[in-house]
Structure 1
Amino acid sequence: MHEEIIKIKNKQDFLSFLNMFIKDFKNNKDSWGNSTVDTFLEGMESWIDDMEGYYINMNLPVPENIDWKVFADILYASKMYE
């Protein structure tokens, strides 16, 4: 799945990845360490807190200018959007 993340350049690419991500969860739920909404969100929180270290350790550029408000809008809207 990591190969697909590298390919993301636009909204459609992200939607394709998200679709594959959902299918992976449905088909491989037992392999997910965070298989409930609360543990998934806690994992997300922890990773975001430590994410600079991931990029540094992988010799990748640390992302800058992330629009955190849009990401928060996506999460919040997903709470009720069908």
Structure 2
Amino acid sequence: MDTSTIHDRESFIHFVQELRNNFLQDGEQWENKTLDQFLEALAAYAEDIQGYYDNMTPSVNADIPGWKVFADMLMGASMYE
């Protein structure tokens, strides 16, 4: 799923709905399948996300919250080990 088009609340809501549908259809591919695992990964990914941005999108500052940053954290938590 692409988070590059997330720029407002409405696009974030649509993303979360797509993320949920992805889990329902292909949840076995997710690294973190339980709420406990997902929340643990979400916290860890939120801590490490600036490193991801520094390597992939240097202009993004994770300390400035935005809908895309939230979406990236949720997406990352689905696969973060």
Identity of counterpart residues, as a percentage?
A: 29
Runs of 4+ in 1 over 4 A off after TM superposition: none
For residues 16 and 56 of structure 1, the distance between their equivalents in structure 2, rounded to whole angstroms, comes to 26
Name 2:64's counterpart in structure 1.
65
Instruction: Report the AA paired with residue 16 of structure 1.
Output: H
Q: Among residues 13, 24, 27, which one is paired with 1:26 in the alignment? A: 24
Which structure would you say has the larger Rg? 1
Q: Among residues 35, 38, 56, which one is paired with 1:37 in the alignment? A: 35
TM-score (norm 2): 0.73
For residues 37 and 64 of structure 1, the distance between their equivalents in structure 2, rounded to whole angstroms, comes to 25
Indicate the structure whose relative CO is greater, using CA pairs within 8 Å and at least 6 residues apart.
2
Instruction: Report the AA paired with residue 65 of structure 1.
Output: I
TM-score (norm 1): 0.72
For residues 52 and 44 of structure 2, the distance between their equivalents in structure 1, rounded to whole angstroms, comes to 12
How many residues are aligned here? 66
> Do the aligned partners of 2:27 and 2:33 also contact (CA within 8 Å) in 1?
yes
Name 1:49's counterpart in structure 2.
47
Structure 2: which 5+ residue stretches go unaligned? 71-81
**Root mean square deviation of aligned Cα:** 1.7
